[in-house]
Structures are given as structure tokens and as C-alpha cells.
A and B are shown apart, each in its own frame.
Chain A
Amino acid sequence: MHGLIISALLFLVGQTSARVLSNKYDADRHILLSQEAELFLGSGVKLTEDEAKANDILMHWKNKEVDEAFANPEHYNFSKHFFAYRNDVSKSKVYQIIKKMPKGAALHVHASMMLDVDSLLRLTYEDHLYACYGDGDLQLRFADTVPAQLCPFEWNLLSDLRNASGDVAAFDTELRKHLTLYTDDEDFQNSDINTTWERFEKVYITVAGILKYRPVREKFIYESLKNFYDDNVMYVEIRSGLHELHELDGTVHDRMYFATLYERVTEQFMQDYPDFIGIKLILTSSRSKSPEMVRQRIELGRRLKKENPEFFAGFDLVGQEDRGRPLSEFLPLLMEAKEDMDFYFHGGETNWFGTATDENMVDAVLLGTKRIGHAYALMKHPMVLAKVREKDIALEVNVISNVVLSLVRDVRNHPLASYLAFGLPVVLSSDDPGAWEADPMSHDFYVAFVGVASRQADLRLLKQLAYNSIKYSALDNKGKIRLFNVFVRRWEEFVKDVIANDSLEV
């Protein structure tokens, strides 16, 4: 009898202590979770009452998307190639919100791939465009007579070919394929990084042919800025090598001319759209070039900086990193230039580990780079990671680019997730959105927000990313304040719009 009572008592004690214990564990668990949440990028942003309301709406739709995907991964889009889901994105409420959201600045975009392909196609309707169709290649060039450039077959006026084709729509569909990587072909989506880049470079060559013609380049710049502006981007830092431009009669303008053209068009654009803040140029050289040629490009950078310090942001080396020369090969040259200009190097756009490509990040950091383009391999380099933190070097992350250019398939494995978790200085950008028919910035923001970031990441992350794009831009303080003021005004409108928008109602 006593034994029974005792064991009953012991049982009760056991129950209670278990409950107490599990309460304690619940508390521990909670503390760990909330401490982690504090590290997350954007956790420092305080939301106003209105913002909190907008956040509820945003998070309602985000959680719905994530939870549905969690339960039905077979429908989850972001685990697939961007091309497999690109056309479905516009149905998402989260995307619709992000599309309208002011995003601050685009800090990592290449000049020739800024424009959407439909606009590009329209530019091929300009007079005097000659085409040379080769074996799967297409060269385009504006000229008043048959171009002197080598063509393995023959140069024809594109308008003649188009008219002779008998089916303009079909002709343009074919032509379009030379202007974009976008395709339904799953074999391409599964191809290795070199095959993808070879295709990418072909598209680049075709597009660049059109853009060497001064009047078309002028339109291209204007329309590109309009694209970004319409996507709620207020300032852009453009990477360009500033090639020569020509007129119809063959007159050639040098690279400095190209720079002034940029300024002229931008000025015009800012007159038409006064809340656009402007652009700056990051001068680039191909990393496959010899040190001597890179030196010449750096020299151009010095001249540009001297003649227009407002316009010139800095210098970078571009091209497929695995195949180009590592930064270490240019070290003396870059160390010398370091005194005269800022660097915005690409680094670690690779999934190799322990190779010249990922080790580029070390050189970028030691050369005092202001930001690192991609830094995809950063999580494998704890020392570089420490330097990035210590020197507050921003990481320019381009998630969709990394998918299309064959670094990662399922974006949930993109290292951006860790960068956000560690609260690293991240800015989102889009690299070459025209080349894969992405929005100037909205697709990248959307994929990063829903596909890569934590399910709990909310409006504070989005706002912080926009803030970061201002903070880590090459603008001087005055410029940053101007951009910030425009951003704040536009942000308030955006928040009001989200709250008032019936179609978003929860």
C-alpha cells in the first residue's frame, strides 16, 4: 500500500519535473531562435505602424507560398531552373508587391545586358542593319554599305532578310534566340558551366554588334535606364569596358566619347524623370586580356576619373573567372592603380574550392576592393569572410545569374542564405537580366526573398537590402542623402499602396 502511494507520488513528481524541465528547454530553444533572428540581415530595422501592416500582408502571402511549397515540393518552383518558372512568377502576390517596391540602387549590372529582349528586338528594326548568319552564329552591324568585317557567308540587310522570309513573326522568333539565353530546352538548362558561358558569349557578341552604332547605343542606354526606373530602381552603377562607337559612315568615336554619351543620355533621362538619381560607371576590362592591355584600360580609367570624377566609380575585371586570368596575375599593376582608383572586383564566382578562381577573393580583399561581385565561394573561406566583416566589404549577390550560369540549381542551396543569416553586408543585383529575360531587379529580389531567405525574413530584410544598396554605392555622402530622400518618399508611397491595394487583401 505504502509502496503504491510512494510510486504514485514519485510518478507525480516525475511528471512535474518533466514539465518544468521541458519549459526550461522551451525557453532555451526560444532564446537561441531569437538570438539568431537578431543576427539576420535587417533585424535592426524598426517598422512603423503602417509598415507593420504592410508587412502582415506581405508575410501572409509569403508564408502561403512557402508553406504550400513545403507541403508540395513537386510544385516548388525555385528548386528548378529559372527558365522553368520565369513565366509563372507574375502570378505571385509577393512578386507583385516586390515589383512595386522601391529597391534603391542596382550595383552589379553589365551595360550590354541591361535591356529586355523585346526592346532589343525593336532596335533591330532600325534602318541600315546588316546581318551575317554563320553556323549557329549571328553578327549584326549597322552600316551604310555592306560592312567590311569578315563574314563566313555574306552580309545582308536584316530588313531584306526579314521581308524575304515570308513570315516576319517566325523570322523574329528565330532572331530573338540570338539575343537571349532564355529557352525551353532542358538540355541547355542542364548544361555545364563552359557550355553555358559559350552560349552566353555568343549572345553577347550578337548584341554588342548592334550596340556599336552610336544612335542605337544612345536609344539603348535611355531605354535601359527606363527599364530600371520602371522596376523602381533609382540609381545604377554600370559596368562597361567602353568600346568604340561608330556612325553610319564609318566615323569612329573613341572610348572617352562613349563615356560622355552615357552622361548626356543620363542627363536627358533625369530631366524626363527627375526622381532618378543617376548612374556611375565601373570601368571593366576582360580578365582574359594581357596585363599590358589591362594596363591601358586602367590608364583610361585614370583619364576618366580626372575628367569626370563624378561619373567614374572604379575599376573591375570581367569574364568567366574559371577561364580568365586570376587577379594575382595582375597584382603589381593593380597595386599601383589602387592609389588612383577604387576597385569593385568580381571574385569567387565559382563552385570550385581551392583553385585560382575562389582564391581571387583573397586578392580582391587585399587590393582593398569596395565590394565583391558574387563572392559565391565565400562560405568556404573563413578568413576572407572575417576580412569581409572587418572591412565591411559589400557582397554583390546575383542569385538568378548564378542559376542561369550553372553554379547552382536549387536556390535554397545558394550561399546567400548564409550571408543573410550571418548579417553580412549584402546587396542584391541582377548581373545581366536582359540575357535571361529577367526583370531589372524584381525577379532577383523575389527569388532571394521567397526562395533563399528564411521563411521568417520579412519586410525588414527587403528594406535593409534597399538601404544597403544606397550605403554601399559609390555615391558620395551628398549623393547618398539625395538617393536616400527619394527612396524614403517612394517607400512611404509603396507602403500605403500595399495597405490600400484590394487585390492584396488578406
Chain B
Amino acid sequence: MWTTILCLSIVLFSVVSQDVYNNVVKERNDILHRELDMMLGNDIELCDSEMKANDIIMDLKRQEIEGGFLEPQAFNLSKHFFEYKDVVKESQLFKLIQKMPKGAILHAHDTGLLSPDYVLNVTYLPDLHVCFEENDIRLLFSTNTPDETCETQWQLMKDARYSSGNVERFDSELRKYFSIVIDNPSEVHTDVNSVWLKFQQYFITTGAMFGYKPVWEQYFYDTLKACRDDNVMYIEIRSVLPELYDLDGNVYDSVETAVSYKETLDRFMSDYPDFYGAKLIYAPLRMVDAKTVKQYIEIAKEIKRKLPDFFAGFDLVGQEDKGSPTKDFLAELVEARWELDYFFHAGETNWYGTSSDENLIDAIVLGSRRIGHAFALTKHPLLIDEIVKRDIAIEVNVVSNAVLKLVEDVRNHPLASFLAQDLPVVLSSDDPGVWEAEPLSHDFYVAFVGVASKHADLRMLKKLALNSLYYSTIKDKDKIAHDFEIRWTKFIDSVVRGNVFY
């Protein structure tokens, strides 16, 4: 259509010579192409079958975006995640991305990965006691009635459930404690603090239940399983490493908790030898004093000594706007930096010129291997340069940033400009279970359709998967890249044959 108009206009206004016109059109296309050549994924060469798969993928993607462009009210990804998280599962492109080998999850918190339905099932285990308090519940495994104080009274979950008269309703009420998904997020989650309170409450409520050693280990085992099912082959998991307990009165400290992870991993690997493995980033809470950070560091060093192949590094977690800024612990962290690799959260904020976005500086200066979120990075041009120079990967979690109220319409997420500039990005999912997302597929889908350029194609998807391997702490990268390539080839084959959707 538009070519006709152009041709027509050329006839009408032949004053502009064809040459001049052609030159401008050429320059225009040149700029657009050069931009595409700058984009993340530009160095990926697609083979014939990949190009066929790409045509299929891009057809699906174009349909979704062009539909949204014409009817923005129908564009799911500009809405709240809770509104579209289930709808998009029907999308063919989503299904395809689910089947796609996505490499590694490099930014996820251990007890936030599984769905509320899974957590609800945990409450069916024997010996779980519950205490109903005014606005919360407390959960604890114990052979006898727990000694801990309780505003009402401790009872066996089983008794509470079956004396409730309506198990289904009891469970659906209970489930609400294990998810932050609600029907009216714009009315309830009105600001970053209100949603963070709900978010943190999940960890507080489930903390003691997950701290029961058998549950702890099973949760981790099932997390690995869920990642594998979502076509993720490896995970670097962040944990606060809480004390664990069992029914015999034993208590296990952070180091022993790490050991229990390693043992669980070994068990999983022998059951599923095609999984590539997991490593641990010790990531305790940031809302503490320098002395405590010093203790954290000692714990980290001990875990590293004990489990050198399992331990990846150190981080501090918690809402950045409220926690202590990283610079408060500069002396401690500087001292430990030769012994520990850092993977700091930084700039998970939409403030500008505050301690939260300035955490980015400290993360860089302290030699962080990767940075969690870096949402505020586009406001810090020099830090962008540093990140490129030092090849520090940015762990981007789009869905998390939307749910936790940093950005509403994901098209405004800074990831778009990270991708345009080919910054070293890896996609991850943070705490997908808490908002009922898949371990990684939702984040890939939203980033690919909602955030990236309409022109971004299979090369970007492949590069993102490869980045997650490249920026991991895996030593033998050749081997995992090789394993990935085998899976990838199979995936491409299934796309081309059209059986990826079944």
C-alpha cells in the first residue's frame, strides 16, 4: 500500500530527483539495519533450519504485536501481570518458548520458586502445626504442640483443616498466604512498599514451615525438577540459608543448610543425570549492621571451603530502598573480595540520585560478577560504560519488576534499551512462584514480545540462553554449551516439524 503512495508521490513531485530520494531511503534503511546489527543477538548466525524456525516464530510474534498495535486495549502485556499470566499460556508463542531450552536461571530466590499449589500441598504433611493469628498464620512442624507463643492456640493443621467443616474453602483461604496474586492489584498494591510488605509476608509465613529439614530438601529437589520441566538446565540459586530443624530437636546452622542443599542436588542429579546442576549464592538480608555482614562473610568463606564446587558467591537481599545501602559495608566487602565472588542486587528502584540507585556504583567498584536488576542503570551513563568495559552481566527480571511495582507497562522497562545497546543481559525470574509464573518461560515470553523490538528474533532468544551459560560460574563452559546445542537442535527440529505445540 505505502509503496503505491510513494510511487504516486514521486510522479507528482518529481522535483526531488529519484537519486536524492533513493539516497535518503537508503540512509534510512541503513540506520535501521545498523541498529538491528547492534542489538543483542547480532553475533548469532542462524543455520537453515533455524531460519525456518525463525520464520515460524516471527509470524507468531508479529501477529501478537500487530494485533496489539491496532488494538492496544487488547494488548495483554501492557496490563498487570496478574491479568494476563494465565491468558498468555494459550499463546502458541508462549508454548514454543516453554519448550525452548533457556539455559540457566541465574537470579532466583530459593523459597520463592514454586507455586502456591505446591506450598499448599506441603501443608498436608503430618506433624505440621498451625497458629491462626489476627492477620497471619504461623506454621511449624513438631511432634508435640509447639512451645512458641501463639496469640490463639497451636493446633495440628490436619485437625484445623478437617474441623473447619469445609476443606475446600479452608484450603483456598490458606492458599492466599502462599501467593501475592489478587484480583484487584491496582487497588491493593498501590505502591512499592505495600506490595513488598505482602511479598515479604510470604517469606515470613512460610519460613518456619520450609525450615523443617525434610521439607527444605524436598522443596529444593522439586525446584530443580520444575526448572528442568521448564527447559532450564542449570540454576544459581540465592538463599539466606536459614537454620533448619527436625523433629528430634536438632538445629542446623547456615553451613549445614548449604550442605543439605548440596546433598539434595546430588540426589537429584543421580535421578536426572541430564540436568546440568546448581550452585549457591549465599544472599542474607541487607537490613543489618556492618558487624553482621562481617559474620555473613565468615559463613560464606566457610561454605566455600567446605563446598568449593557448589558455592558460587555472595550477595545481600531485601528491598533496597529500605535496607542499608551497600556502601555501609564497603570496608568489609572490600576486604573479602579476593575470596568471594559477588553477585550484588543493585538499582532495583525507580528512584534517581538516591542510595538505592547508587548501589550500582558499589556493585561495580566491588567487582560484582553480575548485578541483580540494575533497573536504574539507564540513568547512569558512565556506569553503563563500566558494565560494558568490565563485562558485568545484568540479571533482568521483568515480571518481578512489574509485580513489585517498579514499572506498569513493560514496554517502559529499561531492558528495551539494554537490548538495543547489546548490554550483557541475562533474563531471570526472581521469585516466580510467589506471583504464579513459570520458572522462566513467562519472563522470556514477556521480554521477547512485550519489551524487545518487534524485529528481535530467534537470534535474541538464543543469545539470551547462551548468555545465561556464559555469565554463569560454571567452569566447563564448553561442555554445557555443547549440551545446550544438542537440546537446541532438537528444539529447532520440533519447531520446524510443527510438533512443538503438542
B-binding residues in A (CB < 8 A): 14, 18-19, 21-22, 25-26, 28-29, 32-33, 35-36, 39, 66, 70, 72-74, 76, 79, 190-195, 291-292, 295, 322, 326, 328-333, 335-336, 351-355, 359, 362-363, 365-367, 379-384, 387, 407-410, 412-413, 415, 417-418, 421-422, 452-457
Decide if A379 touches B378 in the complex (CB within 8 Å).
Answer: yes
A407 CB contacts on chain B under 8 angstroms = 412
Are A291 and B409 closer than 8 Å at their CB atoms?
no
- A selection of 23 A-B contacts at a CB cut-off of 8 Å is A25-B365, A29-B362, A29-B365, A33-B361, A36-B380, A74-B190, A74-B191, A74-B193, A194-B71, A194-B73, A331-B6, A332-B9, A332-B21, A333-B13, A354-B452, A362-B31, A380-B420, A382-B35, A382-B417, A408-B408, A408-B409, A410-B406, A421-B380
How many A-B pairs have beta carbons closer than 8 Å: the answer is: 200
* Docked CA distance A416–B2 (Å): 33
CB distance from A218 to the nearest CB of B (A): 37
Cα A379 to Cα B5 with chains together (Å): 31
> In the complex where A73-B321, A381-B420 touch, is A291 in contact with B361 (Cβ < 8 A)?
no
Question: Could you tell me the distance between the alpha carbons of A330 and B12 in the complex, rounded to whole angstroms?
Answer: 12
Are A70 and B354 in touch, CB under 8 angstroms?
Answer: yes
Listed from nearest, the 6 A-B pairs whose CB atoms lie closest are A354-B454, A455-B353, A454-B353, A354-B453, A412-B350, A351-B411
The interface-forming segment of B103-111, B120-128, B148-156, B327-335 is: B327-335
Q: Are B358 and A33 in contact (CB under 8 A)?
A: yes
Q: Which residue of B lies closest to A193 (CB)?
A: B72
Which residue in B20, B38, B193, B414 is a CB contact (below 8 Å) of A383?
B38
**Beta-carbon contact of B334 and A18 below 8 Å:** yes
Which A residues touch B91, using CB under 8 A? none
Give, as a whole number of angstroms, the nearest-CB distance from B489 to chain A: 28
User: B34 — nearest CB in chain A belongs to which residue?
Assistant: A383
Q: How far is the CA of A25 from the CA of B8 in the complex (A)?
A: 64
The residue that B365 contacts in the complex, of A32, A191, A322, A413, with Cβ under 8 A, is A32
Cα distance A190–B353 in the bound complex, in angstroms: 29
**A335 CB → nearest B CB, Å:** 5
A116 to B53, CA, bound (A): 56
Binding site for A on B (CB under 8 A): 2, 5-6, 8-10, 12-13, 15-16, 20-21, 24-25, 27-28, 31-32, 34-35, 38, 65, 69, 71-73, 75, 78, 186, 190-194, 321, 327, 330-331, 334-335, 350-354, 358, 361-362, 364-366, 378-383, 386, 406-409, 411-412, 414, 416-417, 420-421, 451-456
The answer to whether A336 and B15 have CB atoms under 8 Å apart is: yes
Complex Cα gap A143–B380 (Å)? 58
- Residue from the list B34, B75, B191, B361 in contact with A32, Cβ < 8 A: B361
Residues of A within 8 A of B190 (CB): 74
Minimum distance in angstroms from A279 CB to a CB of chain B = 31
The answer to whether B334 and A21 touch across the interface, beta carbons within 8 angstroms, is yes
Min Cβ gap A315→B in Å is 15
With contacts A332-B16, A332-B21 taken as known, whether A455 is within 8 angstroms of B351 at the C-beta atoms is: yes
B458 CB to nearest chain A CB (Å): 15
Query: How far is A19 from B335 in the complex, measured between Cα atoms in Å?
Result: 9
Query: Would B354 and A455 count as touching, CB distance under 8 A?
Result: yes
Nearest A residue to B36 via CB reads A354
Pick the residue among A39, A79, A351, A457 that contacts B353 (CB under 8 A). A457
> Could you tell me if B352 and A455 are in contact, using CB atoms closer than 8 angstroms?
yes
Contact residues in B for A328 (Cβ distance below 8 Å): 2, 28
Q: Are A74 and B6 in contact (CB under 8 A)?
A: no
Is A291 a contact partner of B321 (Cβ separation < 8 A)?
no
Determine the distance from Cα of A138 to Cα of B414 in the docked complex, in whole angstroms: 41
Known contacts A352-B454, A366-B28; decide if A192 and B72 are in contact (CB<8 Å).
Answer: yes
Q: Are B382 and A417 in contact (CB under 8 A)?
A: no
Also in contact, A382 and B6, with CB within 8 A (given A33-B358, A421-B380, A455-B352): no
In the assembled complex, which residues on chain B have CB atoms less than 8 Å from the CB atom of A365? 31
A-side contacts of B20, CB under 8 Å = 335
Tell me if A409 and B408 are in contact (CB < 8 A): yes
Nearest CB of chain B from residue A128's CB, rounded to whole Å:
40
B353 and A456 form a contact (CB under 8 A)? yes
Q: How far is the CB of A397 from chain B (nearest CB, A)?
A: 15
Give A35 to B380 CA distance when docked, in angstroms: 10
Q: How far is the CA of A295 from the CA of B69 in the complex (A)?
A: 28
Contact A418–B416 (Cβ < 8 Å): no
Contact at B352–A408, with CB atoms within 8 Å?
Answer: no
Instruction: Considering the complex, give the chain B residue whose CB is closest to the CB of A290.
Output: B5
A409 vs B407: C-alpha distance when bound (angstroms): 8
> Which residue from chain A places its CB closest to the CB of B190 in the assembled complex?
A74
With contacts A21-B335, A74-B194 known, is A412 near B420, CB below 8 A? no
B406: chain A residues within 8 A (beta carbon): 410, 413
Residues on B with beta carbons closer than 8 Å to the beta carbon of A295: 12-13
* B80–chain A nearest beta-carbon distance, Å: 10
Q: Hey, which chain A residues are within 8 Å of B331, CB to CB?
A: 18-19, 22
- In the complex, what distance in Å separates the CA atom of A418 from the CA atom of B362? 20
Nearest-Cβ distance from residue B208 to partner chain A, whole angstroms: 29
Contacts of B65 in A (CB 8 A): 352, 354-355
User: Chain A CB within 10 Å — which of B352, B366, B420, B454 has the most?
Assistant: B352
- Kindly name the residue among B31, B361, B362, B455 whose own CB sees the greatest number of chain A CB atoms within 10 A: B31
Among B2, B73, B186, B420, point to the contact of A382 (Cβ < 8 A): B420
Contact check: which of B5, B352, B414 meets A453 at CB < 8 Å? B352
By the criterion CB–CB under 8 Å, are B366 and A25 in contact?
yes
Cross-chain contact B31 with A384 (CB below 8 angstroms): yes
Cross-chain contact B330 with A25 (CB below 8 angstroms): yes
Residues of B near A29 (CB, < 8 A) are: 327, 361-362, 365
Q: How far is the CA of A380 from the CA of B412 in the complex (A)?
A: 10
A380 touches B417 (CB 8 A): yes
From B192, B364, B382, B383, residue with most partner A Cβ within 10 Å: B382
Q: Say yes or no: B365 contacts A417, CB within 8 Å.
A: no
With A384-B31, A455-B351, A455-B352 already in contact, 10 other A-B pairs whose C-beta atoms are closer than 8 Å: A25-B330, A28-B365, A29-B327, A332-B6, A353-B451, A366-B24, A379-B414, A380-B420, A410-B406, A410-B407
- Chain B neighbourhood of A413, CB < 8 A: 350, 406-407, 412
Q: B89 to nearest A CB, angstroms?
A: 22
| Residue pair B382, A39 in contact (C-beta under 8 Å) | yes
Q: Known contacts A190-B186, A336-B16, A383-B34; decide if A366 and B453 are in contact (CB<8 Å).
A: no
Q: Are A412 and B6 in contact (CB under 8 A)?
A: no
Among residues of B, the one whose C-beta sits closest to the C-beta of A292 is B12
From A36, A326, A355, B382 is in contact (CB under 8 Å) with: A36
8 Å CB contact of A291 from B9, B72, B408: B9
Report the bound CA distance from A353 to B78 in whole Å.
13
Residues of A within 8 A of B334 (CB): 18, 21-22, 25
Query: Chain A residue with minimal CB distance to B20?
Result: A335
Contact assessment for A32 and B353 in the assembled complex, using a CB-CB cutoff below 8 Å: no
Contact assessment for B38 and A382 in the assembled complex, using a CB-CB cutoff below 8 Å? yes
Q: Chain B's nearest CB lies how many Å from the CB of A461?
A: 11
| Complex interface: chain B residues within 8 A of A79 (CB) | 191, 350
